[in-house]
Structure 1
Amino acid sequence: MRVTSVLSAILGAACAGALALSTPARAEPERIRLPGSDVVLAAVLYKPEGPGPFPAVVALHGCGGLFLRNGKVSPRDEDWGERLAAQGFAVLMPDSYGPRAVGPQCRNRDRTVRPSAQRQADAHAARRWLQSQPFVKPEAVSLMGWSNGAATTLYAIKDSKTSRAAMGDGPDFARAVAFYPGCRALAARGGYKPRVPLLILMGENDDWTPVESCRRLVEQAKAAGRTATLVAYQGAVHDFDSPGAPVVTRRGLAFTASDTGEAQAGTDPAGREDAIARVPAFLAR
């Protein structure tokens, strides 16, 4: 019995150590407000320990919004904020919906807060706020987004007069990461050129924002001599990087590949694991 107890204690300690390695240290976000183009934006800030200066990331929520009904940050956004802060990045997540008095937009076809306009302006407002902070390296602020926020990311780094006009003051974004964006509209226009290195991460089986149009977008960028990479995970669907979300069929969605309003979403463990390793390495270059 004594030997069994000792072995159990050792195995328990080993498992606890492995879990500590895989789980980021919890970093409570700071609630802040910052000036936007048409509203005062609410945002949450995940900040590493110490004075900095740190590289930073503007992170843009998807069509479901940044906050849950109970006021907490959504699990996927919280998970990434904590992970990146634990690896030395300051992460600012602006809320594009609450300050404009709109709720989740996944079921809304007539959206008044658009990736190409208001949300793009929010991304640059967040970048400028970070660049004004003493704990941030102004030239090392990157952009990252999910789904609707990923589409915003593509617009915000597009090499065009409209996107450059939205920048305002300060250095441009250093790099950009887009998780499962809707690429169809941008790809259809042709000639997409990102101003900064771009990484797109998607599920090969995504039937909400399908991968093929994003492949065309990356081909356009490469043809123009720009740096763009697409990684598509076999078997993965929308929201593949969410922590512990079972794969379910979402219904009543405004835009899906089949136009039926139905699409699958949920965690793909292999894709999530790869993204957790790949994204910080890409941002740190």
Structure 2
Amino acid sequence: MRAALLLCCLLGRPAFADHDPATYFGPRLVSEEVRVPVRGGRYTIAATLLRPAGPGPYGAVVLNHGVPVFARERATESWENFAHVAPVFARRGYVVIMPLRRGFGATGGEFAEDAGPCSNPNYQSAEQAAADDVMAAYDYARLLPYVDPSRMILAGQSAGGLVSIFAAGTRAPKGLVAVLTFAAGRGGNPAANPGVPCAVEPVARLFDALGKAVKAPVLLHYAENDLYFGPKITRLWYERFSAGGAQAEYVVQPPFAEDGHNVFGDLIGLRHWLPTVERFLATHSVPFERLDAADPSRQDLFSSKLPYVRSACRSLYRVFLEAPGPRAYAVSADGHCGFAGGMKEAKAEAIRQCSSVAALPCVLYAEGEAVVWKKEDSTMAAR
């Protein structure tokens, strides 16, 4: 099944602090920059909060970043890597806190997660240092007046996923209901050895120990073409983890773009990981419904009754619903679609994307927050 690919020509990354109705949709969100004390105030780390505007109480997600190979990349780390991800959780009733650990971005200071040489890495020490910062953010979030401390989630991408599991297994976090990881691991170097990290067994030994200690359910989500951690490696890690008794679910999705390691942070990646997260959390009775799901004024927009389109286009429409604006979604009577978000010419681009794969003319289905399609539109277009 072919469908027009997403065009995501964003005019810069979306800024959480600027919820302009012309660019953001759904429940109103509030953002805040904070400094979180760690280890009794010996130092502080920078963190960004994104939350629903109401009084709550809401659940909370601690969203953890990875570890770039080069120091210059660590120095520029920011919430921007989660710019498309954090609003998804916030719209579903979660306060999202995104800490920058020591040696990263606005936190600065000395990098504390160096595991040493690939021939003999000390991941235990590196993860302990990272977990100090993660748990400081976790405990900070639990004390916020609008947070339900019994509904906490640890989540992260790449090394951020591994430290989420590590913190869950070694720090006994109170109120933890789930751990969500995406491309979790350490030691990957796609330039030197695509798909095979430098120290598979040391990470596997971490999973051995953590499998016996983590009590919350854990999602291990990977892509088939992850150039940091290939499927043979990640399945080994999952098997070692689950052998210890962990409640783990292992998901390998089809290839994504050129490197599936980046699926979580990419807007189009939502079509792959969001349904998996929804199903996983529902299985474990963790609420994850959009706050505006029952809003009568939005029922047409959320309706699953898309005209004509195939399953690939239905998943692309889900991306449209989470995208910043200006945004538009187009369909054709022969089952194709097109989408554009975060660009001034979204309407024209959505039509162009749809027309590039459709034999019949394309018409707009939705724009911004409104369904604009009428059945006669496609009837006329098909003539």
TM-score, with structure 2 as normaliser: 0.52
Cross-structure match for 1:179: 182
Q: Map of 1:246-257 to 2, 5 A cutoff?
A: none
- Runs of 5+ unmatched residues, structure 1: 1-19, 245-268
Give the direction of change, closer, same or farther, for the CA distance of 1:150–1:40 in structure 2 (3 Å limit): same
Separation of aligned partners in 1, 2:29 and 2:117:
36
- Runs of 5+ unmatched residues, structure 2: 1-21, 187-199, 288-383
Where 2:271 maps in the other structure, the secondary structure is helix
Separation of aligned partners in 1, 2:278 and 2:33:
24
Residue type at the aligned position of 1:181: A
Q: Is the 8 A contact 1:115 1:152 kept in 2?
A: no
Where 1:141 maps in the other structure, the secondary structure is strand
Cross-structure match for 1:266: none
Separation of aligned partners in 1, 2:271 and 2:108:
35
Cross-structure match for 1:61: 65
Q: Is the 8 A contact 1:144 1:176 kept in 2?
A: yes
Q: Residue 156 of structure 1: which of 160, 167, 181 is its match?
A: 167
Pair 1:136 & 2:147 matched: yes
Separation of aligned partners in 2, 1:179 and 1:222:
17
Q: CA RMSD in A?
A: 3.4
Give the direction of change, closer, same or farther, for the CA distance of 1:39–1:212 in structure 2 (3 Å limit): farther
Q: Residue 197 of structure 1: which of 217, 235, 245 is its match?
A: 217
Q: Bigger CA drift: 83-92 or 114-123?
A: 114-123
Structure with more contact order per residue of length (Cα contacts < 8 Å, sep ≥ 6) = 2
Give the direction of change, closer, same or farther, for the CA distance of 1:102–1:224 in structure 2 (3 Å limit): closer
> In the comparison of the two structures, how many residue pairs are matched?
229
Cross-structure match for 2:271: 273
Q: Is the 8 A contact 1:26 1:82 kept in 2?
A: no
Separation of aligned partners in 1, 2:74 and 2:275:
25
Cross-structure match for 1:262: none
Cross-structure match for 2:19: none
Q: Map of 1:83-162 to 2, 5 A cutoff?
A: 83-96=88-101, 97-98=104-105, 99-101=107-109, 115-158=126-169
Separation of aligned partners in 2, 1:39 and 1:134:
24
Residue type at the aligned position of 1:147: S
**How far 1:182 sits from its partner (Å)?**
1.3
Provide the identity percentage: 24
Residue type at the aligned position of 1:241: F
**How far 1:67 sits from its partner (Å)?**
8.8
**How far 1:52 sits from its partner (Å)?**
0.3
Cross-structure match for 2:34: 32
Q: Is the 8 A contact 1:151 1:182 kept in 2?
A: yes
Residue type at the aligned position of 2:272: D
Please tell me whether Structure 1 or Structure 2 has the larger radius of gyration of its CA atoms: 2
